[in-house]
Amino acid sequence: MQNRTSDKRLSKATVVIAGGGTGGHLYPGIAIAEEIKKQLHDVEIIFMGAEKGIEARILPSENYYVKLLKTDGFVGVSLRKKTVALFKFIMAFFKAYAFLRGLRPNVVIGTGGYASFIPVFAAMLLGIPTVIQEQNSVPGQANRILAKFAKKVCITYENSLSYFPKNKTILTGNPVREKILKADKTEGKKMFSLKEGRFTVFIFGGSMGASSLNKIVVDSLEQLTHLKDRLQFLHQTGEKDFEYVKAAYLRYGMSGTVAPFIYKMPEAYASCDMIISRAGATTLAEITAIGIPSVLVPYPYAASAHQEVNASRLAVSGAAMMIKEGELTGKVLAEYIQRLFNDDSLRSKLSRDCMTFGKPDAAKKVANISIMLLKNKKQSYREGFPVPLPK
């Protein structure tokens, strides 16, 4: 998927979805793409992302073309790395600009992350309609800037409205892939070699894993050995901690499956009885869409503490259990697991209340907005450089 002709005609609509770096920014883009393809039979969807992002390995397996840019994030790195990132930013911008100018897409949708800013900004300069999709309660600085020039801004939480122009901002929810909604529990257990009839705990710390969360989980296992014949675990560790975590499960005689990365998240969700995870916006969108009882451990260093804000919305309403990482120990985590294992009514309540926050139609709403702009713009290009038609 390295070469692609840029000579196209307007018989087919073209949509570019820009974003990634992590699954939290990539998977909403895939959900939007799926919905657009359902509504438009003659459409070409192209992704733009970062070479180092998760999109480089996920999108080819999903049969999407992806244009990868050499770019890095600026947040939380040294001055030297910021300087290198700035140079890469400039080079990536010119490549993105040239790519979009040749492609002439009808609309560009930005789903966040450092991989999103450059293509969306370039599209704005080229006069291409843009849509911003913001997942978090507290939006990042990049989307706040881009929103001033975007045609539409789609938000997940109502309290995000104060950060964006009200005349172009729409509450849609965070898009969730259709596979998440339709995955089968029995098939999920088969896929991950999980036993029927055992209480299944699914643990993940985001697409890159979470070392501190992994350590707490390992520390909790000794407290759970009396349940080892009734419990099983599905644990996404990240590459760094895989061997260490796997060895701990074996040491304590625990059943289940440990993997550095889980590609089949819909089946993983379907197979479990409870979740222990970070509180990224996309994770919360997915678990609320299908109602999974969860123990949320917000990442303490997230920008503007947005993970804690996200998780608190559920916790105060009784839709999830939340505990800050600094207050969590192996013993405390074991107590949470045992409580949910023993209390069917609590799990049912969490599941029911969790689903009241779900927005399973979010992808359709964002797709509808994007298609509206696409149809308005489809006839506004001349051969070559894209320009708006005269009024």
Residues belonging to the binding site for UDP-N-acetyl-alpha-D-glucosamine are 22-24, 136, 177, 207, 262, 307
Distance between CA atoms of residues 115 and 75, nearest Å: 13
State CA 385 to chain mean position distance: 33
Beta-strand pair 107-110/65-69: unpaired
Provide the token pair at 345. 């009514």
Strands (E), 139-288: 152-155, 169-171, 199-204, 231-236, 255-259, 274-277
| Complete edge-to-edge strand list for the sheet that includes strand 294-296 | 255-259, 231-236, 199-204, 274-277, 294-296, 321-322
| Strand duo 152-155 + 169-171: pairing | parallel
Smallest CA-to-CA distance from 47 within 177, 142, 57, 172 is with: 57
Q: Return the closest-CA partner of residue 43 out of 5, 16, 66.
A: 16
| Sequence-distant (≥ 6) Cβ neighbours of residue 269 within 8 angstroms | 180, 183, 188, 202, 275, 286, 287, 290, 292
DSSP letter at 198 equals S
| Phi, psi torsion values for 99, nearest 5 degrees | -65, -45
Helix 114-125 vs helix 79-103: crossing angle, to nearest 10: 40
List Cβ neighbours of 387 (8 Å cut-off, separation of 6 or more).
Answer: 127, 380, 381
Residue positions forming the annotated binding site: 22-24, 136, 177, 207, 262, 307
Give backbone dihedrals phi and psi of 365, rounded to 5 degrees, phi first.
-65, -45
Strand ordering across the sheet containing 65-69: 65-69, 43-50, 13-18, 107-110, 130-134, 152-155, 169-171
Within a 10 A sphere around the Cβ of 125, how many other Cβ atoms? 12
For the record, the structure tokens of 183 come out as 């995955």
How many C-beta neighbours within 10 Å does residue 304 have? 13
